[in-house]
Amino acid sequence: MKHTIEVNGIKLYAYHGCLPEEGKIGGHYLVDVSVDTDFVKATQTDDLSKTVDYVSINAIVKEEMAIRSKLIEHVGQRIVNRLKNELKGIVGIQIKVTKLTPPINGDVDNVAIIISE
């Protein structure tokens, strides 16, 4: 059986970007995480250890977003790798990293990357 746990709209201030200014002044980001798992045992036992803990998902996202990268593609893959390596029971994962008001030549609300594995 497939179940999904989502942690959406993780709001962060981080320092990602190719421009030197982005490393100094930073910017606002949103991260959405969706993991596929099987939490039947959790539904039967009401036991947190039988599912993927979304508190751990949030903590990993915050830790990885705090490490500067030039590309959101890079930080996104780091988050995916840690989630897969550190949390048991994940059989599928999707992450979206959104950079709000990017410093590009145009009126753009955001740019985003999505990684699905």
Listed residue (98, 100, 117) closest to 108, CA to CA? 100
Which residue(s) pair with 32 in the sheet?
96
Identify the residue whose tokens are 């201030």: 13
DSSP state of 47: -
96 labelled catalytic: no
- Are 59 and 82 in contact by the 8 Å Cβ rule? The answer is no
Distance from C-alpha of 39 to C-alpha of 80, rounded to nearest angstrom: 20
Active-site residue, from 24, 50, 84, 99: 99
Write out the DSSP string of 96-112: EEEEES-SSSS--SEEE
Which residue(s) pair with 28 in the sheet?
13
Query: What residues act catalytically?
Result: 99
